Structure 1
């Protein structure tokens, strides 16, 4: 009997591609998506009013017969509610005016780009859930789905993905050059966690502080830290704080990596029978 392969755990914010690769995705939030839908609907209403004015002018100028006014009104409604949204989403691969404004796009549940079929289904269902109910159905369905999907998304197999990722924080500073040798022998393990958090916060925000306040805060924190640091290097207060934060961060990172390696080694050894005994 073949041994089953390792199970792939898929979290809520991940999708599994056809190659069994889990991709981390960021669905757009409920309120942002509601804003995007509202922008699209307002744009649709303005376009409908513009086209209706054109039809009204054509009727007054006898360009269109009076009996054709109703027909052209229906044609304008179909264009605004179905045709134009379908063409726009197909041509832009899931984008629209509202989605551009909130930084989102429509993608398939497997992470692929949305196509004509998905755009048409969403537009047809949107006639009911967006236009005929003023967005009430879409709002209710979106509130109870994991990725804020509306009814059209559920039927088309799509959802709205975030395209503007948050800006990454700057890389933390390393050990100052003046403390390279000291970092190999420094004892900072006795530093209280509360004081360590205050020092780390100061290091992150030092560049935004007033110079005088920055010097005062560094001196005060360095005086508190010297009681728990051994040996104390002969450097200025801020350099001392930078070194303490960098050393603690590097040692905590090494400890976490070592724990992960031990856990992986123990996990790999589970299920291996002792030598001389058959596996059951």
Structure 2
């Protein structure tokens, strides 16, 4: 079966190729997410029941009582905020999307922004009309890029995750392994990590690929140049670090960004 692909050029003029996620994979992801939300909703109602059970007036609970009000607020926050928070903080992936190997990105190939995540998920209200996401299903089925109304307004697209390149370890990967570096060595706040996109990935990848071939004098110069460009963006100071510490930080950053941006096109 032929698979349709779309070509996207990033603001940095990097060409990327994606396969839009169709109705089947998106519906399956939504079902998984809804099942998770139903379980959470049921647990909240069970908790509310036991709270009301502990009150004196069991059979005629006050609809304006604090437990009921809090439960209703929590239900709204969880059912709407689930999609908004996961898509923004988890790289465009809810639990369902991750299980189905799809994700939400910007039309320019960048990670979804806070505003875009807010808009596309706020417009779920329209996409779910008149019932059971019927309008959204029709839009995804007939749109050339399988977009629903939320995607059109927010400038987003749902795509299949591309398989990461499978290859033998490169010299820089062997160097990182020799130094005993792991992704967990660098704790980056998600808000800060959002400041690093494909442009920063290309910078740190170029630096890492050329590192072992540079003479010592050039190695220190390039390392400090990269550090001054990249590390302040994620709230890390450069001045107090030794050259080796800076190198290690950049290499771990390479591991972090590689999982986000290095794919087989």
TM-score scaled by length of structure 1? 0.50
> Which residue pairs with 1:101 in the alignment?
99
Gaps of 5+ in 1: 1-10, 169-280
Gaps of 5+ in 2: 167-265
Give the whole-Å Cα distance in 1 for the aligned partners of 2:82 and 2:31: 16
Distance 1:166 1:146, change over 3 A: farther
Q: CA RMSD in A?
A: 2.8
Deviation at residue 112 of structure 1 after TM alignment = 0.4
1:141 aligns with 2:139: yes
TM-score scaled by length of structure 2? 0.53
Q: Is the 8 A contact 2:84 2:118 kept in 1?
A: yes
Deviation at residue 20 of structure 1 after TM alignment = 3.4
Structure with the larger RCO, 1 or 2 (CA within 8 Å, 6+ apart): 2
Give the whole-Å Cα distance in 1 for the aligned partners of 2:84 and 2:24: 23
Q: Is the 8 A contact 2:104 2:158 kept in 1?
A: yes
Deviation at residue 19 of structure 1 after TM alignment = 3.0
Q: Is the 8 A contact 1:121 1:156 kept in 2?
A: yes
> Which residue pairs with 2:10 in the alignment?
17
Deviation at residue 111 of structure 1 after TM alignment = 0.5
Q: Is the 8 A contact 2:87 2:93 kept in 1?
A: yes
Give the whole-Å Cα distance in 2 for the aligned partners of 1:128 and 1:59: 34
Give the whole-Å Cα distance in 2 for the aligned partners of 1:91 and 1:37: 18
> Which residue pairs with 1:86 in the alignment?
84
Counterparts of 1:1-80 in structure 2, within 5 Å, are 13-62=6-55, 66=62, 67-68=64-65, 69-80=67-78
Give the whole-Å Cα distance in 2 for the aligned partners of 1:145 and 1:132: 19
Deviation at residue 148 of structure 1 after TM alignment = 1.3
Deviation at residue 122 of structure 1 after TM alignment = 2.1
Q: Is the 8 A contact 2:106 2:112 kept in 1?
A: yes
Partner SS, residue 15 of structure 1? strand
Q: Which string of whole-angstrom CA distances, capped at 9 and with x for unpartnered residues, describes residues 170-227 of structure 1?
A: xxxxxxxxxxxxxxxxxxxxxxxxxxxxxxxxxxxxxxxxxxxxxxxxxxxxxxxxxx
Query: For 1:116, which of 98, 114, 117 is the aligned residue?
Result: 114
